[in-house]
Amino acid sequence: MITAHVTRATLVLGANQSPSVLDVSKLGATSLRRRRGGGGLVLLRPNDLWIDWWIPANDPRWSSDVHVSSIRAGEWWAGVLRHYTSETVSVHAGALEGNPAFRMVCFAGRGPGEVFVGRRKAVGLTQWRVREGVLLSTVLHLQPTNDVVEYLASVPEGLSDALDHQGLDSLHLSAPQEMLARLRLASSPWRFRTTEIVP
């Protein structure tokens, strides 16, 4: 289990996503990176809760089914979040959903394993697979990231509203270290490390 954080605002493109979705003249001090997993653009900030799990192919938690792997990670998160909210916490178990025009941004749709509190997404998820195993990457933002649209070359109508998601602030979660401890227990056993992404 890996906890990671960025040292400044960072836009992260999906593995196969073209930088042409962005107006690079608007980046300013915001960094631009690419992840190995699929999906759309994510805006990360220093206090977001970003958790990765590397599951080797010889680990009993590994599955050849991409949905099973994602849903398992979502259930780890959901089990923890239920300790902190009275709202309904659910894990999306179906296929990718949402307006295809909005898929350029991760938090505007629903993907397998992603976690919702009430009707709003709380945890986004992507995965990267190789023969040796799977990397499951998840994030629970501190605050809304609707302002990601400010970096786009073209903004589909309604996208900003579709990005209305939960965060640590809206869920009144003030003890992320306690949440991390619960996640480690829910998904154990793991080696644990922290990574800082310096642009």
Nearest one of 52, 55, 75, 70 to 5, comparing CA atoms = 52
CA–CA gap between residue 69 and residue 54 (Å, rounded): 11
How many percent of the chain have pLDDT more than 90? 81
The residue type of 161 is D
**Digit-coded pLDDT (tens) for 133-178:** 999 999 999 999 999 999 999 999 999 999 999 999 999 998 888 9
Residue listed under structure tokens 């992260």? 12
Give pTM, 2 decimals: 0.92
Query: What structural domains does the chain harbor?
Result: 2-197 (3.30.930.10)
**Digit-coded pLDDT (tens) for 169-178:** 999 998 888 9
